[in-house]
Amino acid sequence: MIYIYDILLNFNESFYEFYEWEKQDNILHIKRIPVFKIKTSMMEDLLSNKISFKENFCKLIENKTEVFDRKIKVLKYTCLFTDTYQVVGVFINDDYTLSKISDLLLDEEEDTINISSRCHFLEIEYNIIESKVINLFFTRKEITIKKEIENELKKIYKEKDNLKLKYLYFEYFNKLENDIEKMYQDLIYSLKDQVTNKHFKLYELLSLCNGKKSISNLTN
């Protein structure tokens, strides 16, 4: 088994490119982790589907990954996969389902690909559970902003805070409206479009009202 040493991984349910990692993410400093070379078709399945692995593969990688912390910690079912074009880290649950996935920093990915040239392609058995919903048109920050605004609008609408809804509607559309249903639907519908400065402003206003992190934290 070939190991990769001293890299950073950022496991999330969705795959984020390394340049979309954020300060508050739980970024792990990996001491060592096994790497396996796979076919590109499997790499595509890892990125676009929810999958489960066979027990024999999970036993092969069990407790093989070590993480730097105050003391060395062991991750039960974790490894790297590469198809010689890219590398991903995977975090597998105790039921052998793929739980989280991580990109690598660019230089660490290049090193891993070079080292994995010594590996043979490994045929790994797995089952596709279902396809993931992947949004190719919005960045991680945009998706976060849209989801936060949507959740807040639903909360405001449910609580019948009409005054706040009118204020947000005026800030976005620059016009007054009294029809609560129309205001709510128009604001929700606006989230289907590309994120604009108006959405950033809404997010900022809602964050200030709720004492959450401002947009400046998201964009750093």
- Would you say 88 and 105 are in contact if contact means Cβ atoms under 8 Å apart? no
Q: Where are the alpha helices (DSSP H) in 105-214?
A: 106-115, 140-158, 162-173, 180-190, 197-210
- Report pLDDT for 62: 97
| pLDDT tops 90 at residue 134 | no
- Report pLDDT for 137: 62
Render 20-65 in DSSP notation, one character per residue. Answer: G--TTS--EEEEEEEEEE--HHHHHHHHHEEEEE-HHHHHHHEEEE
Global model pTM greater than 0.75: no
> Mean pLDDT, to the nearest integer, of 97-103?
95
Residue with the bigger pLDDT between 70 and 112: it is 112
> Mean pLDDT, to the nearest integer, of 31-44?
95
pLDDT band of residue 90 (cuts 50, 70, 90) is: very high
pLDDT band of residue 61 (cuts 50, 70, 90) is: very high
Structure tokens of 165?
A: 């809804």
pLDDT band of residue 131 (cuts 50, 70, 90) is: confident
> Mean pLDDT, to the nearest integer, of 78-88?
96
Q: pLDDT exceeding 90 applies to what percent of the chain?
A: 52
pLDDT band of residue 216 (cuts 50, 70, 90) is: very low
Q: pLDDT exceeding 70 applies to what percent of the chain?
A: 92
* Lowest mean pLDDT segment, chosen from 29-43, 103-117, 153-167: 153-167
